[in-house]
Amino acid sequence: MKHRVFLYMALMTLLLVQSCATPRFQVPKTGETTSYATGDHGAKEARTILPGQRFTDNNNGTVTDNSTGLIWLKNANCTDTVGGITKNGGRLTWADALTWSKSLASGDCGLSDGSTAGQWRVPKDMELKSLINLKDYDNATYMNTIGFANIQEWCYWSFNTNTLLKVAYAHQPFEWYPFILPGYKNNCDMTGSYYVWTVRNGH
């Protein structure tokens, strides 16, 4: 009898965990279809083909990624003065990028979404990487045609949430090739001034 009760409790716990573990969204395919080695990403073509349109232009200065629910500033190189921070050619230091992002609100950068200061932030590195289409070498040009605007082929600030790297690299610039000319990749050190492309959580 005790064994039956134990098995019943174990089964109910498993079902509860499975129901709570249901993903909120599915990770989309990256677009890479060319295989360069056995078992690589191009061979597996992992992840999911999302139904319908992935990005939605909300016509209020924002674009929603329907796969993650994140809301991105449509203008990836807005040069408005925000929070007292004036951009120099569109680029900011890490400290200024934080202040600028946290101060962004409806009325700035073409926004009419009703957002308030404190809702926008510097994106995490994985959030930027989630935008990548590996099939396209020049993702900046590609993304400027699907709803975004002014994406620059250079470094963008990202926030690394890896606790092992948080102290030293919390402000590392995003250095993957979608938004950077490959030849300039090594020039993205953490003491420079880079672009900032803000994001906020969806509702």
* Of 83, 77, 79, the residue nearest 105 (C-alpha): 83
- Where in the chain does DSSP place strands (E)? 55-57, 62-65, 71-73, 156-157, 173-174, 199-200
Residue 177 resides in a domain: yes
Strands across the sheet containing 55-57:
55-57, 62-65, 71-73, 199-200
pLDDT of residue 3: 45
Distances (CA, A) of 106 to 60, 109, 110: 9, 8, 8
Residue 8 resides in a domain: no
Residue 23 resides in a domain: no
Q: Is the pTM of this model over 0.85?
A: no
pLDDT of residue 118: 97
pLDDT of residue 4: 46
Strand partners, 64: 56, 71
Residue 134 resides in a domain: yes
Q: Which residue segment(s) compose the domain that 121 sits in? A: 55-200
pLDDT of residue 57: 96
Per-residue pLDDT tens listing for the chain (203 residues): 544 434 334 434 434 444 444 344 445 555 556 666 665 555 655 555 555 688 999 999 999 999 899 999 999 999 999 999 999 789 999 999 999 999 999 999 999 999 999 999 999 888 888 887 766 667 778 888 888 999 888 888 888 766 555 555 667 777 654 455 444 455 677 778 889 999 999 86
Tell me which residue has tokens 């969204």.
25
Give the other-Cβ count within 10 Å of 10's Cβ: 10
Question: Are the beta carbons of 72 and 54 closer than 8 angstroms?
Answer: no
Number of domains in the chain: 1
Question: Are the beta carbons of 113 and 62 closer than 8 angstroms?
Answer: yes
